[in-house]
Amino acid sequence: MLDCLERDTGPEPVYSVIWLHGLGADAGDFWPIVPELGLPASPAWRFVFPNAPVRPVTINGGMPMRAWFDFFSRDSISPMDTDGIAASCRALEELIEREEQRGIARNRIMLAGFSQGGAIALRTALLSDRPVAGIVALSTFLPPLEPLEPSASAKGLPCLAAHGRYDEVLPLRLGLDSRARLEAAGCQVEWREYEMGHQVCGPELADISVFMQKVSGAMTGTG
């Protein structure tokens, strides 16, 4: 089981967000943004921030760092570290199951991730045979699913996909391609672009807050 930091917006959370950091960051990277989202104290949310395993990363000269999978090239996302991606998706699925064991229904668990973390969140949600509440995919891309196919649970899945127009790490075209693939799988995609690079900005946090509250409103009375 991955080690995690947790932060609740109030007592007795009824919703969970499992939020995955990007390459070389750690569980504390998005910890400070929780109060900035301005979510109501009741009903409360639990934010779970897992640490990626430490592994050598090829594009950084083999230097060990926290990474959900290896990156082999700065110029292309292909070829992919399919074994590393699959292992991280399994680890995320374990965290989802743990939240269920703690009393949070699966349809009240949202996945979020930045860059590499978003790739793992997207792939996990699309291949899961039971739907989560939704996905927040920030400056990221959908990895290849082959030979697997998107699950039927992907149909109607709410997804906020956001990208910087000047992203120098994962260019905007990767986000746009992922958007098309998500829509083809049946996801309900809300697409946002911002005047920024490979980062997070204030207007984006505001959009995340609106999306989360909208999805939680749709969850009210379920599961």
Among 64, 15, 75, which Cα is nearest to 44's?
Answer: 15
Q: Among residues 88, 167, 178, 216, which one is catalytic? A: 167
Q: Among residues 115, 128, 151, 216, which one is catalytic? A: 115
Among 96, 191, 208, which Cα is nearest to 153's?
Answer: 96
Percent helix / strand / coil, the chain, rounded to 5 = 35, 20, 45
Q: Is 70 a catalytic residue?
A: no
Q: Is 81 a catalytic residue?
A: no
**Own/partner pairs, 58-66, CB within 8 angstroms, 24+ separation:** 60/24, 65/23, 65/24, 66/21, 66/23, 66/24, 66/25, 66/26
Q: Is 198 a catalytic residue?
A: yes
Q: How big is the CA angle at 15 (ends 11 and 17), to the nearest 5 degrees?
A: 110
Q: Among residues 8, 26, 153, 198, which one is catalytic? A: 198
List, by residue number, the catalytic residues: 115, 167, 198
